[in-house]
Amino acid sequence: MIKKHHLALLAGLALTAGCASHHRGHQSTWEGGQDGKIVVSETNKALAQRLKIVNPISKDQNGYMLIQFELQNRESRQVDFAWAVDWFDQAGFHIDSNQRHWQPTSIGGFGSTTLTAVAPHPDATSWKLQITSRDEVE
């Protein structure tokens, strides 16, 4: 016979199992668009201290928005992280690309790397670059 507290525990476990996520923890974001303004939200303080975004640029390439960023490692030891880009139309609606996935990347001590992404749809007019610790991505 199953007791009431066992049923509550099983129900809680079932609900938790159904809430799987592809990302957990904090991430830092940089948002921009065709106007060239960048909005920064560095909620992952550890990565914000180690990584610096340099020269974010965008242009039109055959009717699609192309963005490029240089990320610099401010420390002498390697930094491991993952990044992804979301795209939005002129009204601010998310453009579902079916291509979004976290891309693991490493930068050696005091090194840098260039990240480039092309919008999945010609209606994309803005973007959001997200960076998180690699171990926070499942």
| CATH number (domain holding residue 37) | 2.60.40.3230
pTM for the full predicted model: 0.73
Burial group, residue 54, by CB count within 10 angstroms (0-12, 13-18, 19+)? exposed
The string of pLDDT tens digits covering residues 52-66 is 888 888 899 999 999
88: confidence class by pLDDT, cuts 50, 70, 90:
very high
Report how many domains make up the chain: 1
3-27 per-position pLDDT tens digit: 444 333 333 333 333 333 344 557 8
Q: Which domain holds residue 118?
A: 25-136
Q: What is the pLDDT of residue 100?
A: 66
Above 80 in pLDDT, residue 81? Answer: yes
Does a structural domain hold residue 11? no
Could you tell me if residue 5 is inside a domain? no
pLDDT score for 19: 32
